[in-house]
Chains A and B, each alone.
Chain A
Amino acid sequence: MKCESCNKKYATVHLTEIVGNVKKERHLCEECAQSVNTQIAKVPSPTEILTNLINQVAPGINELSKIICPVCGLSYLEFRSHGRLGCPMDYTVFRKGLIPLLEKMHGSVQHVGKVPSRAGKELIKKNELMQLRNELNKAIEKEDYERAAELRDKIYEISGDNDENK
């Protein structure tokens, strides 16, 4: 069978088009088929198909894939394709995506092991400050200004060298 477009080469591509209820068959050679193909409705690329699918199935993932860490510049998509995080902050920035991932990997999302004593000290400090502030509020309510001043000085003293954790 010859190609119906150029009528020179053999038809090796056989297309079936359905327009409405009418079925139309076309027999083309490789070259002509290619030029026809580009005219036929634009076929979406695999990425487009995937993106569409993702949007339909889980719109959240698309939102997530747009997130970029302001500290190291890594995008969530890059993380998912390489499996490596860029900086400690990513655990906070990509939290939403990481939680189900960690759950799958470890069967848990809460650390229960060792605590660095440094972090421990800061935790203790934080707790202490919280308690002192509560006491201070109570002292002010009771109009015990002498006690309040004492507490205020103590709070300053403890938090003074630790601006980050106020």
Chain B
Amino acid sequence: MMKISDLADNTGEWLRGTGPESDIVISSRIRLARNVAKYPFLSRANAKQKKELEELIRTKIEEAEVYPTLNYINLSELSSVDRLFLVERHLISKEHAEGEKERGVAFEKSENISVMVNEEDHIRIQVIRSGLELRETWKTIDDIDNKLERKINYAYSSQFGYLTACPTNVGTGMRASVMLHLPALGMTHHIEKVFNAVMKLGLVVRGLYGEGTQVSGDLYQISNQFTLGKSETEIIEIIEGVIPRITSYERMARKALISESREQLEDRVWRSYGMLKVARMISSEEIMHLLSQVRMGVNLGIINDIKMKTLNELFILTLPGHLQKLEGRELTSSQRNIIRALYVRKRLEKIETLKG
């Protein structure tokens, strides 16, 4: 079995900062909720049924050859830090980390694909890609779903579609979301307008880690709210239709900032970069803000000695679970602030020496 620490050295492919619109669109993600027929949903399943389901789904994932190299991790055997680490990696959800009894996750080495077992639903398939790639992402996840469905009898009704534990997911069982970096719209206070427009289309805006999470680092997730009454491709078309309008709006706001107050903007970006290089303690909230500023600076060509991939990765690598994994022990929040500052400084120094 693989160890969580094997993952700590690198990050998922979806953070590479490639693909269409990747200056603003960090990633595209789709998840499908599926349940096994003739079993209760997890809130009503007893320990024996949970165990049966876990075993059944785990073996079927293997048999279905969903993907040649899937690692399976049993979550009930992991420490809370390891589970937090997997949440930060977007390989499992918060609910899944905090769940009870037998549950697990199968994921592919590049971390593009993960299949959660016994989350809120029996099966949650997830595919993430860098940039705006919802159509490609759908193709991949549709294929995985087809392979699994040959082995597993899903709970399905011709009227309500795929039956899920929560009626907000019933129908397609699909949530498609796009993660956007919108610092200029935030700075110019135009972000509210975007939210209103998006909500009229039946879409919702959330923070970095989905439902109920706060927005930080100017990172927003836009996803569909409805799952019944529209087909998967229709839902994707609605999202793909609105994203380019938001990204061009963000680019316009950036241009306006440059033409109206270039010095101020440059000062902000460079100060943030400087802070990352010299600070001795950085809180998780502060680093999100600093990284966001620097990321925009790189996009605008103000800073050009740091790669997009490095910045995208730092958003994840400096999170509490990652820092504790890196240190190999549990840390208090002030200890984490010290380690975080040290870690970022080292990463940025490496860039300096490479340049020299």
A85 with B165: CB separation less than 8 A: yes
B40 with A109: CB separation less than 8 A: no
Of chain A, the residue at the smallest CB distance from B149 is A116
- Give the one of A87, A101, A109, A110 with max B CB within 10 A: A87
- Give the residues in chain B near A112, CB-CB below 8 Å: 229-231, 234
Instruction: Give Cα A88–Cα B157 distance, bound, in whole angstroms.
Output: 9
B166 with A113: CB separation less than 8 A: no
Whole-angstrom distance from the CB of B236 to the nearest CB of chain A? 11
Contact of B202 with A by CB under 8 A:
yes
Whole-angstrom distance from the CB of B120 to the nearest CB of chain A? 8
Do A113 and B167 form a contact, CB below 8 Å, given A87-B40, A91-B160, A118-B149? no
Which residues between 108 and 158 of chain A lie within 8 Å of chain B, taking CB atoms?
108-119, 123
Instruction: Give Cα A71–Cα B35 distance, bound, in whole angstroms.
Output: 16
Contact of B276 with A by CB under 8 A:
no
A116 with B156: CB separation less than 8 A: yes
A114 with B231: CB separation less than 8 A: yes
- Give the residues in chain A near B232, CB-CB below 8 Å: 113-114
- Give the residues in chain A near B38, CB-CB below 8 Å: 88
- Give the residues in chain A near B172, CB-CB below 8 Å: 111, 113-114
- Give the residues in chain B near A115, CB-CB below 8 Å: 156, 158
Instruction: Give Cα A91–Cα B349 distance, bound, in whole angstroms.
Output: 58
Contact of A106 among B164, B227, B231 (CB under 8 A): B227
Contact of A32 with B by CB under 8 A:
no
Do A86 and B43 form a contact, CB below 8 Å, given A108-B226, A111-B229? yes
A91 with B157: CB separation less than 8 A: yes
- Give the residues in chain B near A114, CB-CB below 8 Å: 142, 145, 161-162, 172, 231-232
Instruction: Give Cα A118–Cα B155 distance, bound, in whole angstroms.
Output: 11
Of chain B, the residue at the smallest CB distance from A82 is B43
Do A88 and B142 form a contact, CB below 8 Å, given A109-B159, A111-B172, A118-B153? no
Contact of A84 among B161, B165, B231 (CB under 8 A): B165
Whole-angstrom distance from the CB of A45 to the nearest CB of chain B? 28
Instruction: Give Cα A105–Cα B170 distance, bound, in whole angstroms.
Output: 10
Contact of A70 with B by CB under 8 A:
no
B interface residues, how many (CB within 8 angstroms): 44
- Give the residues in chain B near A84, CB-CB below 8 Å: 41, 43, 120, 165-166
B41 with A105: CB separation less than 8 A: no
A interface residues, how many (CB within 8 angstroms): 32
B155 with A111: CB separation less than 8 A: no
Do A71 and B40 form a contact, CB below 8 Å, given A88-B35, A106-B229, A110-B228? yes
B166 with A85: CB separation less than 8 A: yes
B170 with A108: CB separation less than 8 A: no
Whole-angstrom distance from the CB of B69 to the nearest CB of chain A? 26
Contact of A113 among B43, B202, B231 (CB under 8 A): B231
0/1 per residue, A73-109, Cβ < 8 Å to B?
A: 1100000001111111001100000100110011111
B44 with A73: CB separation less than 8 A: yes
Do A119 and B160 form a contact, CB below 8 Å, given A85-B41, A86-B43, A108-B230? no
A108 with B229: CB separation less than 8 A: yes
Instruction: Give Cα A82–Cα B44 distance, bound, in whole angstroms.
Output: 12
Instruction: Give Cα A73–Cα B206 distance, bound, in whole angstroms.
Output: 34
- Give the one of A102, A111, A116 with max B CB within 10 A: A111
> Which positions in A face B, CB cutoff 8 Å?
71-74, 82-88, 91-92, 98, 101-102, 105-119, 123
Given A86-B43, A108-B229, output 12 extra A-B contacts at Cβ < 8 Å. A85-B41, A87-B44, A88-B157, A92-B157, A101-B167, A111-B161, A111-B162, A112-B231, A114-B161, A117-B146, A117-B150, A119-B154
> Which positions in B face A, CB cutoff 8 Å?
35, 37-41, 43-44, 120, 142, 145-146, 149-150, 153-168, 170-172, 174, 202, 225-232, 234
Which 9 pairs from chain A and chain B are nearest by CB? A108-B229, A111-B161, A86-B44, A88-B155, A106-B228, A113-B172, A87-B40, A106-B226, A113-B231
